[in-house]
């Protein structure tokens, strides 16, 4: 849905005075959640939602040293440089078309797709969607949001450890089922990801169109799997679906020769989150009689940012099991306020 109210731009301007994190490592989800709320016709509720979310926001950290085209490699993956990176991408987006900037930096950032618990790539996907929406203007707040998203990704960039591929899987759903859980499922995501050793082989794509089709399959499979496995860690497991969906949303803005590596990165993100948090046993779920609009309305009323973003992805998938998964997220996650 195109935002004709100006609410999204107002909300983004309001949020761009804040940093992308709080309490050291927790992500600021507000830019992603408000984009989803506006997208699904909840613009009148956005500022009220932000008022209640505001106590979680922190100021952006101070700048350290300007990132340049010559020095960016030494700043990559340095979270103390978040503001330096944001300013760098703001300059880049001011001087060049945003698609050109994205195409240059996407392959540089993809190896660190799991960084920040995948929140930077998810924020990027929401930002790109605002710029690609038919009939929407490429406004300054929306270009600035892309700069904030890419800057966060660059600052938190951290590749996964080298992984050995075990047996191949015939489908995305089978591949997710075959992901071995990390030995110690406790502690934060960085400690969990450090234990990764192997993922099933899945998603070999000979061409861009096949890559897009397989990525669509992966998003659906991860969304469906939440209905039966989301109880393992209800907040974190939404990212197994929302991270690859962020990549899928970004594909139309990228050169086609980047689609195949984008699929590989999206699979690594979904598999990493699954390995880190999935329970060993499935649980039953209830089908929902609700239509998509009603499912999202429940997520919006629930107020939790992860639940809102997951419902947004579930509506992209759109089938009954995806809607049941979104309803399950409303049940499993605590209300926001």
Q: Verify that 214 and 332 share a domain, yes or no.
A: yes
Q: What whole-number distance in Å separates Cα of residue 254 and Cα of residue 258?
A: 7
Q: Are residues 194 and 318 in the same domain?
A: yes
Q: Same structural domain for residues 203 and 324? A: yes
Q: Which of 127, 156, 185 is the last residue of a domain?
A: 156
Residue 212 covered by a domain:
yes
Determine which helix (DSSP H) or strand (DSSP E) holds 22, and give its type and residue range: strand 21-22
Q: How much is the pLDDT for 136?
A: 81
Domain C-terminal end among 156, 179, 210: 156
Are residues 254 and 130 both part of a single domain? no
Give me the residue label for tokens 């605002």: 130
Which of 97, 130, 156 is at the close of a domain? 156
Indicate if 168 and 138 belong to the same structural domain.
no
Domain co-membership, 331 together with 184: yes
Paired tokens of 102 = 């994205």
Q: Is 333 left (phi over 0), alpha (psi -120 to 50) or beta?
A: beta
Residue 68: is it exposed, middle or buried by C-beta count within 10 angstroms (0-12/13-18/19+)? exposed
Domain shared by 24 and 126, yes or no: yes
pTM of the complete model: 0.97
Measured CA to CA, the distance from residue 49 to residue 16 in angstroms comes to 16
- Please indicate, yes or no, if residue 32 is contained in any of the structural domains: yes
Kindly state whether residues 326 and 261 are assigned to the same domain: yes
Are residue 120 and residue 225 in the same domain, yes or no? no
Q: What pLDDT was estimated at residue 1?
A: 65
Quote the CA–CA distance of 319 and 316 in Å, as a whole number: 9
Residues 312 and 181 in one domain: yes
In a domain, 1, yes or no: no
Q: Which pLDDT tens digits describe the chain residue by residue (337 residues)?
A: 667 679 999 999 999 999 999 987 899 999 999 999 999 999 999 999 999 999 999 999 999 999 999 999 999 999 999 999 999 999 999 999 999 999 999 999 999 999 999 999 999 999 999 999 988 889 999 999 999 999 999 999 999 988 887 789 999 999 999 999 999 988 899 999 999 999 999 999 999 999 999 999 999 999 999 999 999 999 999 999 999 999 999 999 999 999 999 999 999 999 999 999 999 899 999 999 999 999 999 999 999 999 999 999 999 999 999 999 999 999 999 999 8
CB 152 within 8 A of CB 120: yes
β-strand partners of 198: 164
Same domain membership, residue 107 and residue 166: no
Judge whether 244 lies within some domain. Answer: yes
pLDDT of residue 137: 85
Q: What is the pLDDT of residue 18?
A: 96
Whether 2 maps to a domain, the answer reads no
Same domain, 79 and 178: no
The reply to whether 337 falls in a domain is: yes
Look up residue 48 and give its two tokens.
């009220």
Give the chain's domain count: 2
For residue 119, give the H/E element and its range.
Answer: helix 119-132
Domain enclosing residue 96, as ranges: 7-156
């Amino acid at each position: 849905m195109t935002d004709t109210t100006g609410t999204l731009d107002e909300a983004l301007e309001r949020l761009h005075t804040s940093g992308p994190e709080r309490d050291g490592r927790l992500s600021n989800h507000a830019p992603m959640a408000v984009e989803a709320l506006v997208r699904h016709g909840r613009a009148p509720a956005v500022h009220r939602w932000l008022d209640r979310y505001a106590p979680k926001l922190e100021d952006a950290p101070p700048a350290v040293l300007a990132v340049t085209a010559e020095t960016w490699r030494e700043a990559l993956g340095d979270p103390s440089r978040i503001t330096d990176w944001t300013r760098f991408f703001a300059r880049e987006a001011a001087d060049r078309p945003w698609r050109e900037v994205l195409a240059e930096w996407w392959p540089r950032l993809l190896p660190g797709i799991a960084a920040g618990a995948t929140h930077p790539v998810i924020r990027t996907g929401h930002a790109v969607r605002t710029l690609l929406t038919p009939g929407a203007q490429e406004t300054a707040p929306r270009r600035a949001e892309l700069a904030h998203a890419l800057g966060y990704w660059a600052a938190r960039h951290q590749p996964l450890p080298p992984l050995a591929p075990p047996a191949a899987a015939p489908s995305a759903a089978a591949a997710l089922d075959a992901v071995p859980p990390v030995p110690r499922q406790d502690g934060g995501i960085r400690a969990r990801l450090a234990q990764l050793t192997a993922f099933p082989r899945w998603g070999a794509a000979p061409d861009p169109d096949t890559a897009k089709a397989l990525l669509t399959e992966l998003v659906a499979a991860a969304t469906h799997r939440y209905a039966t496995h989301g109880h393992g860690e209800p907040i974190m497991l939404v990212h197994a679906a929302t991270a690859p969906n962020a990549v899928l949303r970004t594909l139309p803005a990228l050169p086609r020769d980047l689609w195949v590596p984008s699929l590989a990165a999206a699979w690594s993100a979904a598999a990493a989150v699954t390995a880190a948090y999935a329970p060993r046993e499935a649980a039953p779920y209830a089908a929902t009689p609700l239509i998509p609009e009603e499912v999202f309305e429940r997520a919006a009323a629930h107020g939790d940012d992860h639940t809102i973003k997951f419902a947004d992805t579930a509506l992209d998938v759109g089938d009954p099991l995806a809607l049941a998964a979104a309803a399950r997220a409303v049940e499993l996650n605590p209300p926001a306020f």
